[in-house]
A and B are shown apart, each in its own frame.
Chain A
């Protein structure tokens, strides 16, 4: 396992959504991952997103940097804290789950999660 936390600049998340509770997408299964999105977190800054990664695939730090950096650049995730439990998902799956979790969080708890 490899554990690390990364922080990337990101546009501030919509303020009304910051009231929403956490949202979860995905499952911790082979080739898959779960992503938890919550407001706040250690960074707390409105223009940064913090991502805590726990991954079973060792030695792909640079790939994570690229995938998570792109997510933060494309989405208004400032002020959010994300937790990822990964069992060797490919970047394509990681990017998909991040987008799904983010959208589920924006939609609020009633929307449910994939």
Chain B
């Protein structure tokens, strides 16, 4: 039976002034507060990181702090794995590991840790309120005031979900802040929910993960973007959507003010988004395509631009963005008609995965976004149309979410995207996972876009037809070359497979001239000078 919060806090009474502690006392604070076997959450996702608290945890004495059960979104810092290697962690439940994927795979295969499960963000947040509630949560905020109220600023992200679960079930919330001030611009987390606050020696890290340099978008990606806009967005009249983070979808964003405009689609597609403030969305916003954007997190350098568009973004009273990963994931799952993203491998059933041998990367939000929301009951034209297609006459009418993978048939180094068998199977075997880590299941996939064209999988009547539709757009990969020419011809006649020319698109017209911005500098110009790209994206 672990100690109550009040008992634990009493152990650090001598170190606390109100809710504040000195930064150099943090390791001792953790050693005194955390008990063996505690569930601990270190806040972090693919954007912001409670990196200093993570370092402090890694400096605790393994004699005092051990047997932990980590329950956190992301294991992407080296320190996250250091504490596992030092034997302080017994069990792990997480979502995403990114750069530490290889190391994590070795630790799991070496039996140094037991894995609960690999979750999606939304599932993990959900389990915080059921059976994985943190005893101690280490979170990051921009500012705190003397009382201990927190200002998370534009990068609110996971903080409310973690703090709510921890604080209201007798847990302890510890926050690192970039600075302590007298008055906060706004209060994102009330002091009442926070138990320990300390200023970190340096601002917490934020990764500019959603910045895609338009200069790196290829002609082939422009072609696929044209296919997506004309063959999918216009076809279904998609207004509520979420995009992945790849260059393929960045190309779509940059073609809205040019190509989509030329097709008369402004106001008819892409009006409402669940999306981070992608810099590549700036030209579409400025062109009047976009009515609203709700964000999972923020994006480095977009602060001033976002603040200047209160008509589009969700802003606090201080004028800066309020993001919220949990709400935005829910919005992406239930309120969007389309998810489109990229992947590394797709099999003949349309299952897709980013898993490769020897790396356990986990998931972000794509599986929630890229899945039919079976619980959805409200209708929209796009959702109804997708649901009606491929449904037997007379069956109960029901809508369907549009889920599209947009991929080139070959990745770099001529690795075929289309495969007979996903690497995810081998990975699951090697690491002893319950399930092969599939990002998007074939049964949820309604569309597939490659440079060869679009496959309307939701229009197929059976699995054999689906397989041929996938092969039809698999180009010169072995999977593609094994297609049945007659079957493919029939699919094309019936509009289930459309090549670019069937949509009136000539591949040689797919030039970078269509991009509304061709460089980061163009994005700065489009933003009226408000977007301030991080140094690594500047060439001036």
Contact = CB atoms under 8 A, between A and B. Distances in A.
Direct contact between the two chains A and B in their complex (CB within 8 A): yes
Interface of A: 31, 57, 60, 62-63, 66-67, 88, 90-93, 95-96, 99-100, 103
B14 interface: no
B508 A60 contact: no
Given A57-B414, A66-B476, A67-B476, A90 B508 contact: no
Interface of B: 218-220, 408-410, 412-414, 451-452, 475-476, 481, 507-508
A99 B507 contact: yes
A60 B451 contact: no
**The 5 residue pairs across chains A and B that have the minimum distance between CB atoms:** A91-B476, A92-B451, A90-B410, A92-B220, A66-B476
Given A90-B408, A103-B508, A96 B219 contact: yes
Contacts of A95: 507
B476 A31 contact: no
A90 B219 contact: no
A112 to B, nearest CB: 14
Contact of B414 (A60, A66, A99, A100): A60
B410 A92 contact: yes
Contacts of B414: 57, 60, 63, 88, 90
B220 A96 contact: yes
9 contacts: A31-B412, A67-B476, A88-B413, A88-B414, A90-B410, A93-B218, A93-B220, A96-B507, A100-B508
A88 B452 CA distance: 19
A55 B451 CA distance: 22
Given A66-B476, A91-B476, A99 B508 contact: yes
Contacts of B409: 90-92
Nearest to B480: A66
A103 B507 CA distance: 12
A14 B337 CA distance: 49
B429 to A, nearest CB: 27
Nearest to A70: B476
Of residues B409, B412, B414, B508, which shows the largest number of chain A Cβ atoms within 10 Å of its Cβ?
B414
A92 B480 CA distance: 13
Nearest to A92: B451
